[in-house]
A and B are shown apart, each in its own frame.
Chain A
Amino acid sequence: MITVNNLNYSYTDKPFIRDMSFRVSRGEIFGFLGPSGAGKSTLQKILTGMLPDYQGQVQVHGVECKKHKKDFYENIGVDFEFSTMYEKLTARENLNFFSSLYKKKSKSIEGLLEKMGLAQDADKRVSEYSKGMKARLNFIKALLHDPALLCLDEPTSGLDPTNNRLMKDMILEEKAKGKTILLTTHNMQDATELCDRVAFIVGGQIMALDSPHNLIMSRGARTVTYRWQENGEQTAVCALDEISTDQRLQMLIHDNRLLSIHSSEPTLNDIFMDITGRALV
């Protein structure tokens, strides 16, 4: 579906994206994670054919991105980080306009508005929409022509928990239909939940690339934290695979003196910090 080999790109004389290589398979959700200015959006622009002056090989649907024809976009849906709607037009007018640019028959606008909870506000001007409503409308716009590849840039940004859940379910629904999804995000929780694989991007380079599960498991051991009362409240931590050899824990269990016990595993954010030496959230 997507092949990137030795990709280099620069806005100035200084290299910005350096020697990136990866592949994304059909039906996969692939996440780009990294701090602002890391090169995530630039990478997305290259993959969507908007920055043709790159070096290396970047193929989407077997087409070299710098040499794409106009029908290239018939199968790509881009959800930008910012609202890309005409503020003076209603949501329905915007969606009608954008869907008419494609040769493919549009999905039902009514259906999508209904699904994303915007049916009631379809005839409101976009300028009257909240940030979250604009994010949902942007997402609908990317889905309209039923593209095989979806490029989503911070799709859940500005959404309340209910709509965040709704959006994530829609993304998973698209994946279930066999769509390939590129997800650019700061949100480690979303990435862990949605992505089959993630690439940590820092300073224009991929620092790690694997499934969130493998990244978490390979770098951090799961631990058990327990508390008990002894001259005030005490806390101790032991590795999950050493639990049977922790004498104090055995004794506390035997004496029924534990106040609480819980297991925990590192988050993707911990792994990101571990690998890149910097925090993301």
Chain B
Amino acid sequence: MKAVQISFRQMLVFLKNDMMLAIACVAPVFIGSIFCFGIPRLEGVVTEYFKMKSILKPYYQVFDVFLASITPVFYCFVAAMVILEERDDHITDALYASPLGKGGYLVSRLGIPGLLSFVITEGLLLAFSLIHVSFLTRTFMAMNGVLQGVIFSLMVVTISSNKLEGMAVTKLTSLMMLGVAMPWFLPEKVQYVFWFLPSYWMGKAVWCQENLLVIPAVLLAGVWGYCLVKRGRC
């Protein structure tokens, strides 16, 4: 456990030396503030301009679910970039051949950041949510966001062979998050095309206000995670 803590602290030192990744850590706070303060103002402006009662308001939930998804994804993106750079520099081999081991390394690079991003997501949803959601729903949203974030980083690490490729794969992989918006924009029959995305079920859970729909999201995240770890090069 001591080795895991030290390894995680080392990751923080690493971030101190990498401005891009350090900025990525505070980006969710900016996004949350923009959603919270910018969207209602924008709603005011557009409804007045188009003389309509509401335009963006029916989609406020989408912004909340999106914030719950993007926050852990940012932290897991940072973790994936650190893993890739450590792999590029052959540091992972040295860490595997130490008391930290492969398991400890993955806990320090994916487990702890995932756990922290869960707490941060809860906090950001509490602070910046556009609609009132219950504690349970908020927790489910944060949990699902974290699972998605871990899948995201596993995918980036598995597909890419270096940090440069990782940046490119990140853009492609982040499309997986779009599943959250499908229940609002696609007819029910069509939206099931996205059943394999955990994010779709999270969106569906919020749209239907049915917390049980979190179960398929968690199960699917488990399957994705298992397949990626099995195939993985991390």
Q: How many Å lie between the Cα of A167 and that of B93 in the bound state?
A: 22
In the complex, the answer to whether B6 meets A84 with C-beta atoms within 8 Å is: no
Determine chain B's interface SS by DSSP, over half rule. Answer: helix
In the complex, the answer to whether B14 meets A88 with C-beta atoms within 8 Å is: yes
Residues of A within 8 A of B10 (CB): 86, 97
Q: Count of A-B contacts with CB under 8 A?
A: 61
9-residue interface stretch from A16-24, A98-106, A175-183, A251-259: A98-106
Given contacts A70-B99, A103-B99, contact A97 B6 (CB under 8 A): yes
Partner of B94, one of A78, A89, A93, A100: A78
B7 within 8 A of A: yes
Interface size class of B (residues with CB under 8 A): 20 to 34
Chain A count of residues within 8 A CB distance of the other chain: 26
Residues of B within 8 A of A74 (CB): 99
A141 within 8 A of B: yes
Q: How distant is B44 from chain A, measured CB to nearest CB, in Å?
A: 46
A85 within 8 A of B: yes
B208 within 8 A of A: no
Residues of B within 8 A of A49 (CB): 97
A:2-32 near B, CB below 8 Å: none
Q: Which residue of A lies closest to B16 (CB)?
A: A88
Q: How distant is B229 from chain A, measured CB to nearest CB, in Å?
A: 15
In the complex, the answer to whether A48 meets B94 with C-beta atoms within 8 Å is: no
Given contacts A70-B104, A97-B6, contact A87 B98 (CB under 8 A): no
Residues of B within 8 A of A228 (CB): none
Determine chain A's interface SS by DSSP, over half rule. Answer: loop
Q: Which residue of A lies closest to B96 (CB)?
A: A50
In the complex, the answer to whether B3 meets A101 with C-beta atoms within 8 Å is: yes
Residues of A within 8 A of B91 (CB): 84-86
A83 within 8 A of B: yes
Q: How many Å lie between the Cα of A76 and that of B96 in the bound state?
A: 12
Q: How many Å lie between the Cα of A89 and that of B86 in the bound state?
A: 12
In the complex, the answer to whether B94 meets A98 with C-beta atoms within 8 Å is: yes
B17 within 8 A of A: yes
B228 within 8 A of A: no
In the complex, the answer to whether B104 meets A80 with C-beta atoms within 8 Å is: no
Q: Which residue of A lies closest to B4 (CB)?
A: A101
Query: 1/0 per position for B89-111, CB-CB distance to A under 8 A?
Result: 11101111111110010000000
Q: How distant is B154 from chain A, measured CB to nearest CB, in Å?
A: 20
Residues of B within 8 A of A93 (CB): 13
Q: How many Å lie between the Cα of A83 and that of B94 in the bound state?
A: 9
In the complex, the answer to whether A84 meets B90 with C-beta atoms within 8 Å is: yes
Q: How many Å lie between the Cα of A88 and that of B13 in the bound state?
A: 10
Q: How distant is B219 from chain A, measured CB to nearest CB, in Å?
A: 28
In the complex, the answer to whether A101 meets B99 with C-beta atoms within 8 Å is: yes
By a beta-carbon cutoff of 8 Å, the part of chain A in contact with chain B is: 48-50, 70-71, 73-74, 76, 78, 80, 82-89, 93, 97-98, 100-103, 141
Known: A88-B14, A100-B6, A103-B99. 16 other contacts (CB 8 A): A50-B93, A70-B3, A70-B101, A71-B99, A74-B99, A78-B94, A78-B97, A80-B90, A84-B89, A86-B91, A88-B17, A89-B17, A93-B13, A97-B10, A98-B94, A101-B99
Instruction: Pick 10 A–B contacts, CB within 8 A, sort by A.
Output: A48-B97, A70-B100, A71-B99, A73-B101, A78-B94, A78-B97, A83-B89, A84-B91, A86-B10, A86-B14
